[in-house]
Amino acid sequence: MAGEPASGPPDQGDGVHRPLTSLEDSYHLVGSAGGLAVVLCAAAFLLWLGRVRDNARVLSGTKPHFDGLWLYLSWVLPVANFWIPRGIVAEVYRDSAPGKRLPRSVNIWWALWLIGVFGGLGFRPGRSTDVIIELAYEDLWIPLASDAAVVGAAVAGIFVVRAVTAVQLERTKAVLT
């Protein structure tokens, strides 16, 4: 309980709620900035994934297994979001580089993404600011581990983007020459 205000967690129970400290209140700003960064990165990633999927279709001459709206729906449909997005990336790589082994970065990226999103705050009921602040006082390791996994997934995602892009550029050069 070190660092906890003398008055305890924000939700005191029985409908009693204490005012947030300035540090706790700043969580809203940090959370909003983080949310904006996630939206921008997700949009950029999905644009890239759509383009490399189209490139893979041209390079392989085959129709993707998950075509059309699956590129977007697979991230938000419960249960499907456990494997379909990774499958789309893996299919793009295999169609772009037939016979080459899937880079480890794909599996590392996906494992860290699942740990970060579903292992931390992703499945917490009532994810209000109070619940998250209370979690920071009681079980700080949960949000820290979740955030560390998401950051690790973002770094591994950079390697995924570089690997897929590199094999497509290599294959395109071979086709054109």
Q: Domain boundaries in the chain?
A: 50-176
DSSP count for the chain of H helices, then E strands = 7, 2
What would the pLDDT profile of 125-144 be if each residue is shown by its tens digit? 555 666 667 777 777 788 78
Q: How far is CA 89 from CA 64, 65, 111, 167, in A?
A: 11, 11, 14, 13
Backbone angles phi, psi at 112, to 5 degrees: -65, -40
What's this model's pTM, rounded to 2 decimal places? 0.79
User: What is each CA distance from 109 to 38, 85, 155, in whole angstroms?
Assistant: 16, 11, 8
Please state, rounded to an integer, the average pLDDT across all residues of the chain.
84
More confident residue, 90 or 21: 90
Query: Per-residue pLDDT tens for 28-42?
Result: 787 778 889 888 999
Query: Which DSSP state fits 121?
Result: T
| Residues 93 and 106 sit within 8 Å (Cβ to Cβ) | yes
Q: Tell me the mean pLDDT in the region 142-154.
A: 88
Separation CA 20–CA 164 (nearest Å): 46
Report how far apart the first and last C-alpha atoms of the chain are (Å, whole number). Answer: 66
Look at residue 13 and tell me whether its pLDDT is greater than 70: no
